[in-house]
Every structure is written in structure tokens, then in C-alpha cells.
Amino acid sequence: MSNLFCADNTRQIGEDVIGSAVDYQTYILIECPQPWLANAFSSRWVPSSLRILVEEVNKAKLPVRFLLIANELTHKAEYTTLLIYQKQEGLSRGYINHEFKLSHIEQVADVVRKWLWGKRPDAETATNITRDILVCTHGSYDKCCARYGNSFYFHAHATITNLKLENTRIWRSTHIGGHRFAPTAIDLPEGRYYGLLDQDSFQSILTRTGDIQRLKSVYRGWGILPPAIQVLERDLMLSHGWNWFSYKVAGKILEQSLDNNIMLGQLTFEQGSNQYTYQAKLMKDNKRTVEVQSSCNANQTSLIVKYAVADLCLLTENALSLSK
């Protein structure tokens, strides 16, 4: 199995990437110098207070994702950047960013602990950054993220610089899931996931220009939505075009069969002064459902169920009140 590159296998079988984004309430991103071990929070620069906190949160099964991040300046920086992205409830465009510049990584655990207890730390920093893109380069966790993630990060960094996108940062990140889709990335504050990226599709994502159909092969889904609804959201995105990215959206599963092969999904979005609600059946797609080795180190295959949209109908169309 050690010779297998799971991302090569994904390309060979033509697996559809949609429906593989993960839904978290909170992302906690901690700037930390590399190298990172396979178990990232056991790495050299991670203080024990932070490692213990991460273990406690994971044990409590809270919908919180901790990731280590780094860029070219991390080793030279005189402070540690802490980013907390909190999901907006209801109709939303994703997450709200809270940024902290801490004098040392040892302070991270105290600030995060206060945050998780509902107290707002007073060290928050104002920033002109409007976008953080995380590229998984966690090669000690999965070799595809080293093979594909590192080179993609290098070129993506150059693309952002060449486009003079001064409000956009790009970070190397520890494991974000779906390494068989390497190079894989999360675009925050939206929380959209991408995979099998190349520089052409990445430039379209950055600038929201070009042929939106290009996203069909690289869009893993929007992390604020359940996986099956992500398929419906992609269909609507491809039909609405780049304007879709400015809409507020919410989605949920209304009903599902006992075997999960058929679901009734609902997606609502605001477009200008109107609100639309669509319903559709989400049905197991036997042609696209695949059995894969989900990582380079997997010693058995996993069945990955894919869904297709059927019976899409517009349920309601309402004008929003001006007082809202």
C-alpha cells in the first residue's frame, strides 16, 4: 500500500469531489512553525497547554476544528497569529473572522479557552485581511499533501502576489481532510472547500471570473451545508454564475430513508431583495458512487456514496421587507 498515491487513484477513476466539505461551527487556526508531526499537536513548537486543550475539545466532540498554519514569515514573526472563524447562524455567507496577535504561542490556550467559554478576549486585532486561504501541505500525515500541496502552495502564493490581492493571505495548513483530492484548500471566511486544484481554477476562484463550469471538477462543497445538500448547492451555483458567491444561503435535510439512499433537501438563498427556497430529492447515484482507498496509508477501501439531484422545484419566492 505504501506505493499508492491516493490522489493519483482519485484522478484515474474520475471521482467527483463534491459533497466532501466538512461542517464545523468554529475553526481555530494557530500560527506555528514547521516541521509538523503526523500528530500535529505533538509537534515541537506546540506548548503542552495547547495540546491538552485540543485533546479536551476533541474528547467532548465539540464542532471545533483546530489547525496549525504557517507561511514564509512565520519563523521570523515577533508574534503568533491566532484566527478564530465562527459560523454565522441562519442564512449566511459563511464565517466571521476574529484575529489575535499574541506575543507568544504559549498564550494561545488561555485565549481560546476563554473564547470557548463564551468570554470575548480583549486582545482582538483589527485587520485589513478579508480572506484566508488554507492549503494542506501536511506531508507527514499523508504523502499526497506533500507531493501536490507544497508545489501548489508555492505557485498559489505567486499567483496572489501577481494579482496584487493585498487583502488575501495564503497559509500552509495541517490536515484538512480529503487528501485524496490533493492539492486541497479551504477558502475562509466562506468555508468553501476545493480539491484537485490547478493554478487556472485557483485564479478563477480568487477573482471570481472566467468560466464557472471550471469549478465543477474542483469544488468539494460549502462547509456550512450537510454533504448531500452540497450537491444541490453546486448545481445552483453553476446555473447562477459568479453572482452566487454574494448570496446568503442556508440548507437542511428534511427527510431521509433508513438506508440514506434517498433524502429530501431544502436550500434557501437571498438574492437582492428576494428570498427563494428550493426543494429537491437527493438520490444515491450508483454510477458515481465509488469504493476507494481514502488515504495513502489506508489498508482497506471505503464506500463513498455520491448523490444526484432529482425533482428540483422552486418552493417559495418572497420579497424581503425593507425594514429587515
Q: What is the mean pLDDT of the chain?
A: 90
Does the structure show a pLDDT above 50 at 322?
no
Confidence of residue 147 (pLDDT cuts 50, 70, 90): confident
Q: Is the pLDDT of residue 228 over 70?
A: yes
Q: Which pLDDT score is estimated for 53? A: 98
Close Cβ partners of 265 (under 8 Å, ≥ 6 residues apart): 226, 228, 229, 232, 251, 252, 253, 254, 279, 280, 281, 282
pLDDT score recorded for residue 324:
43
Q: Are the beta carbons of 181 and 216 closer than 8 angstroms?
A: no
CATH superfamily entry for domain 6-217: Glutaredoxin (3.40.30.10)
**What fold, for 226-319?**
Nuclear Transport Factor 2; Chain: A, (3.10.450)
- The confidence score (pLDDT) of residue 22 equals 94
Q: What is the pLDDT of residue 280?
A: 97
Residues 172-183 pLDDT 10s: 999 998 778 889
Q: What is the pLDDT of residues 92-112, one digit of tens each?
A: 999 999 999 999 999 999 999
- Give the pLDDT of residue 10: 66
65 pLDDT more than 50: yes
Task: Name the residue ranges covered by the structural domains of the chain.
Answer: 6-217, 226-319
Asked if the domains at 6-217 and 226-319 fall in one CATH topology, the answer is: no
pLDDT in tens, 265-306: 999 999 989 999 999 999 999 988 877 766 656 667 778 888
For the ranges 1-15, 133-147, 193-207, 213-227, the lowest mean pLDDT is seen at 1-15
